[in-house]
Amino acid sequence: MSQLVWDPEWETGYPAIDEQHRRLISEFNDFLDAVNRDFHAAHVANLIEFLLDFLDEHCEEEEFRMRATNYPRLAEHMAFHEHLRSTAKALANTSNKDHEVFTEEVTAFVLDWIERHVKVEDNLMAKHLIQHSKKESKSKLEARP
């Protein structure tokens, strides 16, 4: 299985969020690297633990930012996060299958997450967050005596 190469199209333009997405890809590549070298069930267990924790923390952080800025698509975005979390949990429950099949499935999950969620929903959210922080700094400047 070949490594995932960061595509500039995956960039949302909001640095704090992009940094986390990059971390997802880099941790995932470490997993591919490890299973390609030699397979240990521990690699799969580590990846599952990382993915579930990452999803919790990352989704919560995005949701916090969306709530704090009254993002109008919050409900839709949260529904996508819920779907990602339940898919990851379902994958975790089948992690004891043939490791090549598992690796393919988990790769498809990560790519789907990036292509269908990051490139679409996270992008819209990032545009809103950037817009919001521009407005904030403009009103702070205007409020100066």
**Site of interaction with Fe ion (CB under 5 A):** 62, 122
Specify the residue, 43 or 62, whose C-beta has the smaller distance to Fe ion. Answer: 62
- Closest distance of CB 44 from Fe ion, Å: 23
Cα 46 from Cα 43, distance rounded (Å): 5
Maximum alpha-carbon separation in the chain: 67
Let me know the angle formed at the C-alpha of 77 by 72 and 78, rounded to the nearest 5 degrees: 110
- Closest distance of CB 112 from Fe ion, Å: 13
Q: Which residue has the tokens 């975790």?
A: 92
- Closest distance of CB 108 from Fe ion, Å: 18
Tokens of 34: 């490890």
99 touches 125 (CB < 8 A): no
Cα 9 from Cα 133, distance rounded (Å): 22
CB closest to Fe ion, residue no: 122
- Closest distance of CB 57 from Fe ion, Å: 11
Specify the residue, 66 or 106, whose C-beta has the smaller distance to Fe ion. Answer: 66
CA dihedral (112, 117, 119, 124) in degrees, to 10, reads: 170
Specify the residue, 39 or 64, whose C-beta has the smaller distance to Fe ion. Answer: 64
Specify the residue, 51 or 122, whose C-beta has the smaller distance to Fe ion. Answer: 122
